[in-house]
Chains A and B, each alone.
Chain A
Amino acid sequence: MHCGASNFCAAGDATGNIAVRRSDMISGALLLVFGLVMIFVIVPIQISSSSEYGLDPRFFPDALLWLLVAMGALLVATRVRLRPEPAEAEPVLDLWNWLFIGGYTIFLIIVFVAINNLGFVLAGAMMIAVLMFALGLRHLNWIELVCVSVLAPLIIYYALYHVFSVRLPSGVLLP
C-alpha cells in the first residue's frame, strides 16, 4: 500500500476498497487547523515583525502557511463532493498502523535517549537485538541475533572513528 521512494503510487486507490476520500478529508482538515494555529499563534510568537526591510521576516512563512490553509480547505472541499466509500472500506491507517507507529515512535525516543546516555555501541546493540527479535520471531536464530547486534554497532563505531574521525557518543563502555 505504500509508495516506496517513487511517490507515484497511491496510498490508496479510488478503485480499490480503501478509504482515500475519508483520509484526504481528515488530513486536509488537520493541515487547515495546523496552518491556522501556525499563522495566528506560533508565527507571532516565533518571528518578530519588522517593516524596516524590503519584505517583513514573517512574509514568506505567512504566505506559505496561507497557501497551506487554502490547499487544506481545497482538499476537503474537493473530497466532500466525491462519492463516499462503502462502510467496510479499509482505512488508509487502521488501528494496527496507529498502534505500530505510536509504539515505534516511543521506541525511537528510547533509542535516542539511550544513545545519549549509554553510548552508540551499547544502545545500538540493544536496539538491533530488540528489532531482530521482533522481526525474526518465526525464524529466530539466537547466534545470528547476538553476533549481528554486537558486531554491527562496533564495526560502525570504529569504522567512523578510524576512517572519518567521527566520534559517535561513546557512553559508559568505551573510553
Chain B
Amino acid sequence: MNDLVAGIGDALIWSNVIFIALGVLTGIVVGAIPGLNGPMAIALALPVTFYLSPLGGMAYLIGIMKGGTFGGSISAILLNTPGSPEAAATAFDGYPLAQQGKALKAMKMALYASVFGDSFSDVVLFLVAAPIAVVSLMMGPPEMSAVLIFALTIIAGLSGRSLIRGVIAATLGGVVGTIGLDPESTLPRLTFGFIDLDDGVSLIPMAIGLLALSEIIIQIEAQVLGRAGVAKRINPFGKDVPRESKVVTWAEWRENFRTILRSSLIGTGIGALPGVGAVVAGFLGYAAAKRASKTPGLFGTGKLEGIAAVEAANSAVSGANLIPLLAIGVPGSLTAAVLIGAFLVHGVQPGPLIFKDHARLIYGIFAAMALANVLNFIIGQFGLRFFAYVVSFPNRVIHPVVILLCIAGAYATTNNMFEVAIALIFAVVGYFMRKLDFSFAAFIIGFALTPQTELFVRQTVILYSDHPADLLFHHPIVVFFLALTVYSIWRIVKFQRAGML
C-alpha cells in the first residue's frame, strides 16, 4: 500500500505531469501528421528518456503512446488519410462527416471515444497485471521457455497476413538477437570483430531505423516518384459552420455509449493478445458496430457511431498491450517492444519481478497512465485548432528534419556513430521489409525475446539434461503451452487459408 501511495505521489510531481503533457502533445502532433505515427515517435523519444528519471521517462513515452492513437484520427477525418495505421477505419465515416461540415463533431467524438477506450483498458491492466505476475512468478525456466515459445508463435502468426512470413520475420529478429557475447560461454557471436557489438545490437537505434527512418524513406520515395496521393484538406473552423455541427451532444454521446463500451471490450481483448494490434482492433470494432446497428447501410456515409467504434477499439489496445509485458515480460506489440528499451535503460527488467522489485515505479506508471488519459482529453479538447493546422504542414519540411532527428537520436544512445550506422542499416532493411510485407512487429519482438528465451532454454537444459523425461511428467504447464503452441499453429494456418486473418 505504501508503494501505491508513493507511486501515485511520484506521478503527481509537477515535472512528471509536464512530461506526461509534453508526451501527449508530441503524440497527438506526430500522430496527426500523415506518415508519422506513435511507435515512430516513441522510438525517436527513447534516447531522451536516458536523461530523465525512470518514471519521468516512462511517463513521457506513455503520453506519446496515448496521444498518438488519437492524433491519427485527426488527419483521417480532415484529409481522408489516416495519420497512423490504426485510424484507417476512422476515415470511413470521419471524412464523409467532415465533407458535411461536421469535422469538429467527428474529431470530438474520436477524442471522447479514444479517451474512454484507453481508460477502460488501463483499468483492466491495473486489475489483472499483478495477479498474472504472481502466477508467472511460480513458473521456472522450463515453463517460461514454453510460454515464450508460445508467445513467439502467436506473434509470428498474427502480426502479419501470412504465418510463414511472420515466422521468417521473427526468426530474422531472433538471429539479430543472438549477435553479441554468448550468455553462457561469453564467446563472441557474429560480431565480425566489432567491439561495439559485444553487447549485441542496441534496440533503440534499430527501432529508430526500422520504425522511423524506413517509413520516412517510403514517404520520400512516394513523393519523389510522384506516387503520393494529394488530399483535399477540409477546414473545420469555418465561420458558417453551425454550433450543433461542432459539438457532440449529450444525446449523441448516450446513443453511442453502447458501441463505445463494446469496442473498448474488443480492443482490450485484442490488446492483451500478443502480436495483434490496434489496426485489427479498429476494424473489428467497426465491424461489430455495423453488425449490431439497426442501420448498417449508413456506415461509411458519415455516421458518428463508426468513428466511436474505431477509436474506442484502437485506443483500448494501448493499456491492455502492457499486460503481457508487465506480467510475464513478453511485449504484446511493437510499442511494448520499444518500451522494453526504456525500461532496460533504467535498469528495470520488465516481467513478473517488476511488481516486487520496482513496485513504486509500476504504481507510478499506472498513475501516470491515468493522468495521461485526463491530459489527453484536455489537450485534445482545447488543441483541436492547432492540431488541424499541424495536419497541413508540408512534408518537404517535416521529412528531412525527422531524418536528422533520427540520426541525432541514434547517436545519443551511446554517443557513438556506430549506433547511427545501425539505424541507417536497419532503415534500408525496414524499407524492404515494408515493401515485401514482412512484419517488423514480429521482427522486433523476436529480437527482444530471443536473449530471454535462450537464457531460459539454457537453464532448462542444464537442469534437465540428465533426466529430460521429467519435463513431461513433472511440468504440466510446459506440456500445456507446447500443446497450445501446436494447436495455435494449426488454427492460424486454418484461418489464413480461409482468409479470416
The answer to whether A binds B is yes
Known: A7-B439, A68-B175, A132-B397. A164 touches B48 (CB 8 A): yes
Known: A9-B85, A101-B217. A124 touches B223 (CB 8 A): no
Whether the Cβ atoms of B420 and A115 lie closer than 8 Å is: yes
Q: Which residues of B contact A97 (CB under 8 A)?
A: 221, 225, 435
- Cα of A155 to Cα of B175 in the assembled complex, Å: 38
**Residue from the list B85, B168, B280 in contact with A68, Cβ < 8 A:** B168
Whether the Cβ atoms of B427 and A108 lie closer than 8 Å is: yes
- Cα of A111 to Cα of B213 in the assembled complex, Å: 14
Q: Which residues of B contact A93 (CB under 8 A)?
A: 435-436
Task: Return the chain B residue nearest A66 by Cβ.
Answer: B171
Whether the Cβ atoms of A47 and B440 lie closer than 8 Å is: no
Q: B residues engaging A (CB < 8 A)?
A: 35, 37-40, 47-48, 50-51, 84-86, 88, 159-161, 164-165, 167-168, 171-172, 174-175, 178, 182, 184-185, 187-192, 211, 215, 217-218, 220-221, 223-225, 277-280, 334, 394-397, 399-401, 403-405, 407-408, 411-412, 415, 417, 420-421, 424, 427-428, 431-432, 434-442, 450, 454, 457-458, 461-462, 465
Give chain A nearest CB distance to B46 CB in angstroms.
12
The contact sample of 5 A-B pairs, CB cut-off 8 A, is A20-B437, A96-B225, A115-B420, A124-B404, A128-B401
Give chain B nearest CB distance to A74 CB in angstroms.
5
Give the contacts of A48-71 with B (CB-CB under 8 A): 48, 50, 52-55, 57-58, 60-61, 64-65, 67-68, 71
Q: Which residues of B contact A47 (CB under 8 A)?
A: 182, 187-190
Whether the Cβ atoms of A67 and B160 lie closer than 8 Å is: no
- Cα of A133 to Cα of B412 in the assembled complex, Å: 28
- Cα of A46 to Cα of B198 in the assembled complex, Å: 13
Q: Which residues of A contact B405 (CB under 8 A)?
A: 156
Task: Return the chain B residue nearest A38 by Cβ.
Answer: B175
**Residue from the list B86, B280, B401 in contact with A152, Cβ < 8 A:** B401
Q: Which residues of A contact B37 (CB under 8 A)?
A: 4-5
Q: Which residues of A contact B48 (CB under 8 A)?
A: 164
Q: Which residues of A contact B35 (CB under 8 A)?
A: 4
Task: Return the chain A residue nearest B283 by Cβ.
Answer: A8
Give chain B nearest CB distance to A170 CB in angstroms.
12
Whether the Cβ atoms of B454 and A60 lie closer than 8 Å is: yes
**Known contacts A5-B84, A75-B168, A148-B400; 16 further A-B pairs (Cβ under 8 A):** A6-B85, A6-B278, A9-B85, A47-B190, A57-B184, A57-B185, A60-B454, A61-B178, A71-B168, A101-B221, A108-B428, A109-B424, A111-B407, A131-B403, A135-B400, A164-B48
- Cα of A8 to Cα of B161 in the assembled complex, Å: 7
**Residue from the list B85, B160, B191, B211 in contact with A46, Cβ < 8 A:** B191
Known: A4-B85, A8-B85, A101-B217. A167 touches B417 (CB 8 A): no
Q: Is A17 an interface residue (CB 8 A)?
A: no
Give chain A nearest CB distance to B190 CB in angstroms.
5
Q: Which residues of B contact A46 (CB under 8 A)?
A: 188-192
Task: Return the chain A residue nearest B278 by Cβ.
Answer: A6
Known: A4-B37, A7-B159, A7-B440. A108 touches B424 (CB 8 A): yes
Q: Which of A10, A131, A149: most chain B CB closer than 10 A?
A: A131
Whether the Cβ atoms of A112 and B421 lie closer than 8 Å is: yes
Give chain B nearest CB distance to A166 CB in angstroms.
5
Whether the Cβ atoms of B457 and A92 lie closer than 8 Å is: no
Q: Which residues of B contact A8 (CB under 8 A)?
A: 85, 160-161, 277, 279-280
**Residue from the list A42, A57, A157 in contact with B182, Cβ < 8 A:** A57
Q: Which residues of A contact B84 (CB under 8 A)?
A: 4-5
Task: Return the chain A residue nearest B335 by Cβ.
Answer: A5
Whether the Cβ atoms of B420 and A112 lie closer than 8 Å is: yes
- Cα of A35 to Cα of B40 in the assembled complex, Å: 30
Task: Return the chain B residue nearest A130 by Cβ.
Answer: B400
**Residue from the list A31, A112, A153 in contact with B424, Cβ < 8 A:** A112
- Cα of A5 to Cα of B438 in the assembled complex, Å: 12
- Cα of A115 to Cα of B420 in the assembled complex, Å: 10
Give chain B nearest CB distance to A110 CB in angstroms.
11
- Cα of A8 to Cα of B86 in the assembled complex, Å: 10
Q: Which residues of A contact B85 (CB under 8 A)?
A: 3-6, 8-9
